Structure 1
Amino acid sequence: MKNSLPPFADCERLVYFTLNLLNIPEPHDDYFQESYLVYNRCLEKYDGTLSKFSTYYIQRLYHHFQTQHRNEQREREASFLLSIQHTPSDSDPLHESLLLFDIHHHTMLDSRERLIFDHSYSGHTVNEVAQLMKTSPSTVKRVRKCIKLKLEKLQCLPNP
């Protein structure tokens, strides 16, 4: 069955189809090289009784590029969070960059909590955050309290 598999040159249209499906802008040179590596892995693991090779290859390629894009996005977020310049206070553990990264990625904050956390971390007061978010100061205080409870559960902050 492996003798009837198409050569990589015949899969070029499938590669460009997948890249366009994921809205990946040109140039596609690096992605094309990546797709060759995925092609070789597919040749090793392909089972002709389950599907056509082209279907299998497109699925594996799509998953590969999607995962690669997700990892690149996480790396960009991490480098942004770690590059934030603040004057840290010795008594405030929230001003440690790695802790900030952990809080963002492991506390299960919803989008509003994350936004309020970011504004608070940037030094905005409760009233300023409320104005920026077009909500009341009591809502901001309540959300900050929920954030603090989540952080205490994860032991990012000591219990008072």
Structure 2
Amino acid sequence: MTTATATAIDIENIRINGERLWASLMELAQIGATPKGGVCRLTLTDLDKQGRDLVTRWAREAGMTVTIDKIGNGFMRRPGRNNSLPPIMTGSHIDTQPTGGKFDGNYGVLAGIEVVRTLNDLCIETEAPIEVAFWTNEEGSRFVPVMMGSGVFAKAFTLEHAYAATDTEG
């Protein structure tokens, strides 16, 4: 199969594989699943690591490179034809509140990976790279402040400030 460019295809006929996306959401939701159907996957716990490992495995299987920054944010990149261009970026978080839902945050990350899977299925090469991020401690249910990972990334506060945060157990 040849590689198509995004301008040389019928965009109206591109469809996300909803069953595959749903299966990914349900598999990730099993990590930290609660009896009432929710998810408890607090940031930087063993369950969070299991979730991160699963998500990064899926990204690598989709041909993406994975880098983790010093605060633990994950960046999963699919190259484009011109990798000197800024990436088209999407993402969210995979940590949850203690009584969190299956979709909050997770959907934003997994939908981005599903876009990459779909582009791969259709052999579509984009001009710019595509990057999917997952942010560390976005919910803030274990460490204050909320949006810690994205805050460090955006330079709203320093890495040292984030490293100084402690949870209720010290």
Band of TM-score, shorter chain: under 0.3
Larger RCO: 1 or 2 (CA < 8 Å, sep 6+): 2
TM-score when normalising by structure 1: 0.27
Higher helix content, 1 or 2: 1
TM-score (norm. length: structure 2): 0.26
Structure with the bigger percentage of strand: 2
